[in-house]
Amino acid sequence: MKNSINYVLFILVFIALVFSVTFKTIYTRYKDQGVFELKRNNCDVVFTNVIINNTDDIKVKINNTNKSIHIEANNIKDKIEFSVDLKNIGNIDAIIKNYSITNIDTNGDKDNFSINVSLGQNQIIKGSQSAKLIVSIENKGKNQEELYYNFNLNYIFEEDNL
């Protein structure tokens, strides 16, 4: 009988020891390493509803993962214009932190083209609302056959903290 009481006490002490060592390890690990900074990367803004106004010689590809639009425009005579809806599907306002035009490829003179965007830096898209982005590509040079102009339009969104 005395052996069984000693055996039970030994098991209880062993369980308590394992519990305290486990608790101490977990507590120390989360106390030292468990604090992290949550960085807010992008708001929930998606590109939808591409409308090309005056030509069929343009291809617009939207990439919601990278928040970018790829444009392939062909046979540009004067001006080509298209629009894209930017929908904020979140409930927090989004601010356009920055945008850039990259990967420009053309067989004409780049200085003869101008790209105008209607939504620029520091503009706000309210939560659960849409904003229309209008992009126009204008050829200010001489008209050529088979003139093309390809580029990417990239946007960076952040939550509006105001």
pLDDT in tens, 66-113: 999 999 988 888 888 899 999 998 878 889 999 999 999 988 888 888
> Which is it for strands 68-74 and 113-117: parallel, antiparallel or unpaired?
unpaired
Q: How far apart are CA 6 and CA 32, in angstroms?
A: 39
Judge whether residue 41 has pLDDT over 70. Answer: no
Model confidence band, residue 131 (pLDDT cutoffs 50, 70, 90): very high
The structure tokens listed for 74 are: 């062909």
> Which is it for strands 58-63 and 130-139: parallel, antiparallel or unpaired?
unpaired
Cβ atoms < 10 Å from Cβ of 54 = 11
Q: How far apart are CA 150 and CA 104, in angstroms?
A: 6
Q: How far apart are CA 119 and CA 2, in angstroms?
A: 84
